[in-house]
Amino acid sequence: IGFVVTAWGLLTAYVSMAYLWPSKKAIGNGSGKSVTIPLSGIPVGKSRKIRYEGKPIIVVRTAESIFALSAVCTHLGCLVNWNEGDNLIECPCHGAKFDLRGNVVGGPAPKPLESYRVQIKGKIIKIG
Ligand code: FES
């Protein structure tokens, strides 16, 4: 009985410590943590917003490539949208416009959108 109680106590302590102090890998620290989405989840010409490391990002698929950028406007922080007709990422708040590399091409945004690494592996899009 003593052995079972001791083993139970050690297991409970281990689980509690792992919960309270998760490893860097578990919480993501920008060094290897990635997000995957199916290629079919974003038709050509469309976009999708997802969260990456706790931040909103916008993933845009064109006929040529796939781009992943911060979805947070660098002006005052509104969420940007993809405008397929103009081939630009636009902010609905004050009209900032960004190209698919994140560069500011119009409006009041002071800095480009942060861009993220994108890889296509078979039918999977890997970001990060
Ligand atoms: Fe985007 Fe102002 S918050 S243009």
Ligand 1: which of 58, 69, 73, 74 to mutate, most ligand atoms within 8 Å of CB?
Answer: 73
Q: How confident is the model at residue 33 (pLDDT cuts 50, 70, 90)?
A: confident
Task: Please give the average per-residue pLDDT across 7-31, as a whole number.
Answer: 43
**C-beta 97 within 6 A of ligand 1:** no
Per-residue pLDDT tens over the stretch 34-80: 999 999 999 999 999 999 999 999 999 999 999 999 999 999 999 99
The whole model's pTM is what?
A: 0.75
Q: Supply φ then ψ for residue 11, to 5 degrees.
A: -65, -45
End-to-end Cα spacing for the chain: 49
Q: How many Å apart are CA 52 and CA 89, to the nearest integer?
A: 18
Using the predicted structure, report yes or no on whether residue 21 has a pLDDT greater than 80: no
pLDDT of residue 117: 96
Q: Dihedral sign for Cα 99, 102, 103, 109, please.
A: positive
Name the residue with the closest Cα to ligand 1, atom 2: 94
Task: Please give the average per-residue pLDDT across 1-26, as a whole number.
Answer: 49
DSSP state of 113: P
Ligand 1: which of 75, 81, 89 to mutate, most ligand atoms within 8 Å of CB?
Answer: 75
Task: Please give the average per-residue pLDDT across 73-90, as a whole number.
Answer: 98
